[in-house]
Structure 1
């Protein structure tokens, strides 16, 4: 046994084991750091106004792409309004929906919903008379 400890190959063997251990440790730690990647989601915006309410403006935003719609005779905004289903990659990060409507009564409601993959993930409800504004902001990124 004394010969093994006095052997000249012991430092080389020790260096080889340390190097092998380091490589295995680095490879295993990198596997844990891999992102799961971005996923596609089915997104839908929805705006509802109670009877007699008139939707004036709807603004949708996916990532940096914004779309503003105004209620005009050429492009009327009827209640309930939906955007239709849109495929959105979670790399877009931010979704926004804003709407305003002119409501006739004190108990009138303006409700906006954000649907993702068939479920309502966020909603905003405003009650009152006059011009009401509702807003939703949503991020795919976990904070």
Structure 2
């Protein structure tokens, strides 16, 4: 009789352990993923500069194309040799930032510099050097691949 009692007790204990394990497994699988970062706002600024270099002539910025997410803006023949978008907020859900520019540069050491600032710091920059029509381009993604 004692052996039957022990086997029933062992059966109840193993059943209780199986139920407890199942409950813990279900609770862990239903737990919210609080570790994921939410989308956040960033302070963004685009900047384009044409540097004369040594020698005669003046550089001329011809085209600037900016893109934030799917919204694109094209500027033709901006005045001066420096252009800036001014600071604006972009939510990281927009994922993609692009800046493209071209300019006619007068000298072999002339430069076209495009810069992307995010939260007040240089995130990316590209420089094209030479005379004639030069292109510079940068892109940035907030998504981590």
TM-score by length of 2: 0.84
Equivalent position of 1:18 in the other structure: 21
Equivalent position of 1:78 in the other structure: 80
Question: 4+ residue runs of structure 1 moved beyond 4 angstroms?
Answer: none
Equivalent position of 1:112 in the other structure: 114
Q: Structure 1 unaligned runs (5+)?
A: none
For the pair shown, the structure with the greater C-alpha radius of gyration is 2
**Paired positions, count:** 137
The RMSD of aligned alpha carbons is 2.0
**CA distance in structure 1 between the aligned counterparts of 2:79 and 2:7, rounded to whole angstroms:** 86
**CA distance in structure 2 between the aligned counterparts of 1:77 and 1:31, rounded to whole angstroms:** 50
Q: Structure 2 unaligned runs (5+)?
A: 53-57
Deviations 1:75-126 (A, max 9, x none): x332211000010011111100000111111111110100000000110001
TM-score by length of 1: 0.85
SS in 2 for 1:31: coil
Equivalent position of 1:57 in the other structure: 63
